């Protein structure tokens, strides 16, 4: 099928197709993911990693009570230019917007049917990537995503159909952190949200981050069926 957006390559690793959809409206990108999932299940394409930046949006996951964590009414969100979408991914509520890299891996887990291990892989990809740029992020027990102490820098929420994944991760690089004040991000009350630029105190090149994310994802994804990529050590410095 034709690609839904004018996708560009992000130094695609040899065993993975990497696309950059640029800036997208959330519902359109979700529909485009569905088309890629259909093609992956049908064997019409291989594994694909998509990058995008969404127009401002709050998205709910399937966790019960997620709607209670939106702190603004419809008038207030509209005044801020932020749409609200209920999705079928895992997790609670989060914000997507410009300056945040959203990654959507459309990959086949049938060789190792373990969504929990796949979530750990995504966390490790993010830990390794921000580590190479100077930030020592880590997991928090019982909480999905990656953190700098109690400051969350990346959120993760996935779904799968016939063991093909969609949705994925959102890494805060240079996004508007004030938008998170309109929600209880991911339903977590004992932490805050941060970004790479806020932590580093300097501009961060989104294209460089995408290249690192693509390389780290491809490296760990190749090892995933054997179980070797579930929780390797964080990147060395």
Antiparallel, parallel or unpaired: β 192-193 and 151-161: parallel
Question: What local confidence, expressed as pLDDT, does residue 224 receive?
Answer: 93
Is residue 236 situated within a structural domain?
Answer: no
167: left (phi over 0), alpha (psi -120 to 50) or beta: left
Is residue 3 situated within a structural domain?
Answer: no
Q: What is the per-residue pLDDT across 193-214, written as a single tens digit (0 to 9) for each?
A: 999 999 999 999 999 999 999 9
Q: How far apart are the first and last CA of the chain?
A: 43
Q: What is the per-residue pLDDT across 26-45, written as a single tens digit (0 to 9) for each?
A: 999 999 999 999 999 999 99
5: left (phi over 0), alpha (psi -120 to 50) or beta: beta
Determine the longest span between alpha carbons in the chain, in angstroms: 50
**Per the structure block, which two tokens stand in for 2?**
């034709």
The Cα 77–Cα 83 span in angstroms is: 7
Q: Could you give the number of structural domains in the chain?
A: 1
Q: Which domain holds residue 120?
A: 8-224
Is residue 99 situated within a structural domain?
Answer: yes
Q: How many CA atoms lie within 13 A of 116 on its CB side?
A: 2
Q: Rounded to the nearest 5°, which phi and psi values hold at 175?
A: -85, 170
| pLDDT at position 236 over 70 | no
Question: What local confidence, expressed as pLDDT, does residue 188 receive?
Answer: 78
Question: What local confidence, expressed as pLDDT, does residue 116 receive?
Answer: 93
Q: What percentage of residues in the chain have a pLDDT greater than 90?
A: 72
The answer to whether 121 and 105 have CB atoms below 8 angstroms apart is no
Higher pLDDT, 120 or 232: 120
| pLDDT at position 6 over 60 | no
Mean pLDDT of 147-167: 95
Is residue 1 situated within a structural domain?
Answer: no
Q: How far is CA 197 from CA 115, 130, 179, 235, in A?
A: 31, 11, 16, 20
Range from 5-9, 93-97, 110-114 carrying the lowest mean pLDDT: 5-9
Question: What local confidence, expressed as pLDDT, does residue 7 receive?
Answer: 58
Is residue 231 situated within a structural domain?
Answer: no
Check which CATH number belongs to the domain holding 84 and give it.
3.30.930.10
Question: What local confidence, expressed as pLDDT, does residue 5 receive?
Answer: 60
Whether 186 sits among the annotated catalytic residues: the reply is yes
The Cα 40–Cα 35 span in angstroms is: 9
Question: What local confidence, expressed as pLDDT, does residue 66 receive?
Answer: 80
| pLDDT at position 234 over 70 | no
Question: What local confidence, expressed as pLDDT, does residue 206 receive?
Answer: 97
Buried b (16+ CB within 10 A) or exposed e, 199-210: beeeebebeebb
Is residue 63 situated within a structural domain?
Answer: yes
Question: What local confidence, expressed as pLDDT, does residue 52 receive?
Answer: 98
The sheet with strand 93-96 has its strands ordered as 83-86, 57-60, 93-96
Q: Which residue is catalytic, options 186, 193, 206, 214?
A: 186
Is residue 229 situated within a structural domain?
Answer: no
Predicted confidence band of residue 90 (pLDDT cuts 50, 70, 90): confident
Q: What is the per-residue pLDDT across 41-62, written as a single tens digit (0 to 9) for each?
A: 999 999 999 999 999 999 988 8
The Cα 35–Cα 234 span in angstroms is: 34
Range from 11-20, 86-95, 130-139, 155-164 carrying the lowest mean pLDDT: 11-20
């Amino acid at each position: 099928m034709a690609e839904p957006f004018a996708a560009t390559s992000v130094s695609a690793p040899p065993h993975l197709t990497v696309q950059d959809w640029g800036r997208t409206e959330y519902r359109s990108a979700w529909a485009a993911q569905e088309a890629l999932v259909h093609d992956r299940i049908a064997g019409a394409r291989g594994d694909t990693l998509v990058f995008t930046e969404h127009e401002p949006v709050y998205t709910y996951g399937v966790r019960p009570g997620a709607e209670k964590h939106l702190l603004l009414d419809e008038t207030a969100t509209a005044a801020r230019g932020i749409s609200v979408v209920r999705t079928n991914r895992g997790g609670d509520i989060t914000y997507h917007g410009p300056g945040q890299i959203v990654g959507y891996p459309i990959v086949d887990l049938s060789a190792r049917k373990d969504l929990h291990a796949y979530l750990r892989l995504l966390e490790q990809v993010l830990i390794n990537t921000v580590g190479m740029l100077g930030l020592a992020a880590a997991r928090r027990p019982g909480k999905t995503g990656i953190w700098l102490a109690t400051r969350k820098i990346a959120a993760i929420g996935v779904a799968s159909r016939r063991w093909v994944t969609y949705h994925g991760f959102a890494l805060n690089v240079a996004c508007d952190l004030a938008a998170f004040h309109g929600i209880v991000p991911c339903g977590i009350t004992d932490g805050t949200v941060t970004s790479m630029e806020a932590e580093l105190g300097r501009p961060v090149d989104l294209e460089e981050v995408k290249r690192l994310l693509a390389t780290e994802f491809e490296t760990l994804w190749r090892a995933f069926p054997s179980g070797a990529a579930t929780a390797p050590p964080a990147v060395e410095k």
